[in-house]
């Protein structure tokens, strides 16, 4: 059964030769990598085909150096604003369903973000993931090809979402986090950057394809989900998750309505209205703090219709069709 990570803090940055080498490499990369317009900060940096902020570029180097995966790990992977918070709650409560009662649950007093930590924000000192009992659960926004080779033996749950909803959700979210030293980012500017692929952890399409291709190669290792499918058929997806995580729903649990309890606990309305998710902030490493309420905005399919013009819709749909062509991946019609 999964438990929580601890942070050893045993290494001192100044004395750590290896860490200092990474800092030098990071500095060199910041000076030499192609730059693009940042959403939250001045710039993003194109590293091995993906756009990362300074902080996550360094995190990538640290993960490659320090992180040791276990074959039993289950990793939640997603592009930003694709349903990570929801999946964190669902995966945590599905895997740990013997541990908490639905009337007095961990998620009643703790945010979903705290239930499954991000790999890339726990990099130095590296979260001591070894104190997890198997299977360990953690999440990442990194594309599949940016992860260290050791992680190819892990299981992944990937959730993707209509890029038009992702764009709108991300623009509204980032507008609140954007550096106060920068002028506000207009929707037109965000749209242009998104279409060019210049978006934290993106391009969106290459991100999705990195996991899609891996899921075709190893369907038993990667469960590929869609936010829209989860909205429409949550029972089907929760059963799939339980099977995939090696804890199928039993006949007895079916009779007790356990699947329905998990869905109710993790529903947008329930999570958003919990006191714990209304106040305070989630901390992501040393540098990033986000008001918990920002993770619960509308939680709907198709809210992009309230923001994007017909022309914008056509352009994103065109890019999606072109990028996904021949991949076997069906686009997002809604």
Q: Nearer Cβ to ligand PAP, position 37 or 299?
A: 299
Q: Nearer Cβ to ligand PAP, position 150 or 177?
A: 177
Q: Minimum CB separation from ligand PAP for residue 190, in Å? A: 14
267-296 binders of ligand PAP (CB under 6 A): 267-268, 271, 295-296
Site for ligand PAP contains 165 (CB under 6 A): yes
Site for ligand PAP contains 299 (CB under 6 A): yes
Residue 166 near residue 43, CB atoms below 8 Å: no
Candidates 2, 69, 82, 199: give the one binding ligand PAP (CB under 6 A).
82
From the list 76-84, 217-225, 241-249, 314-322, the region that binds ligand PAP by CB under 6 A is 76-84
Q: Nearer Cβ to ligand PAP, position 195 or 271?
A: 271
Q: State how far the Cα of 81 lies from the Cα of 160, in Å rounded to an integer.
A: 9
Q: Nearer Cβ to ligand PAP, position 11 or 297?
A: 297
Q: Minimum CB separation from ligand PAP for residue 251, in Å? A: 27
Site for ligand PAP contains 122 (CB under 6 A): no
Q: Would you call 108 a catalytic residue per the annotation?
A: no
Active-site annotation, residues? 141
Q: Which residues bind ligand PAP (CB under 6 A)?
A: 78, 80-86, 165, 169, 266-268, 271, 295-299, 303
């Amino acid at each position: 059964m999964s438990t929580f990570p601890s942070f050893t803090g045993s290494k001192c940055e100044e004395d750590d030769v290896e860490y200092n080498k990474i800092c030098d490499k990071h500095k060199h990369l910041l000076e030499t990598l192609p730059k693009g317009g940042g959403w939250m900060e001045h710039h993003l940096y194109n590293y091995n085909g993906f756009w990362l902020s300074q902080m996550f570029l360094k995190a990538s180097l640290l993960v490659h150096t320090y992180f040791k995966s276990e074959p039993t790990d289950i990793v939640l992977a997603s592009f930003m604003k694709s349903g990570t918070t929801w999946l964190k709650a669902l995966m945590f409560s599905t895997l740990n369903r013997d541990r908490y009662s639905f009337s007095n649950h961990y998620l009643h007093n703790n945010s979903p973000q705290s239930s499954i930590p991000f790999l890339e924000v726990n990099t130095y000192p590296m979260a001591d993931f070894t104190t997890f009992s198997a299977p360990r659960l953690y999440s990442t926004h990194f594309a599949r090809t940016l992860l260290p080779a050791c992680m190819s033996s892990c299981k992944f749950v990937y959730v993707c979402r209509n890029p038009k909803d992702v764009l709108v959700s991300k623009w509204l979210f980032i507008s609140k986090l954007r550096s106060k030293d920068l002028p506000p980012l207009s929707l037109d500017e965000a749209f242009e950057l998104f279409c060019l692929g210049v978006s934290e952890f993106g391009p969106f399409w290459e991100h999705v394809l990195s996991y899609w291709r891996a899921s075709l190669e190893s369907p038993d290792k990667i469960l590929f989900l869609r936010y829209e499918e989860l909205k429409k058929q949550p029972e089907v997806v929760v059963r799939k998750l339980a099977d995939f995580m090696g804890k199928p729903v039993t006949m007895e649990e079916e009779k007790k309505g356990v699947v329905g309890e998990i869905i109710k606990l993790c529903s947008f309305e329930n999570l958003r209205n919990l006191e714990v998710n209304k106040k305070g902030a989630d901390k992501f490493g040393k540098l990033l703090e986000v008001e918990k309420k920002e993770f619960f905005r509308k939680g709907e399919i198709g809210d992009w219709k309230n923001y994007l013009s017909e022309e914008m819709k056509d352009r994103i749909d065109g890019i999606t069709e072109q990028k996904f062509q021949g991949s076997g991946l069906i686009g997002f019609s809604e």
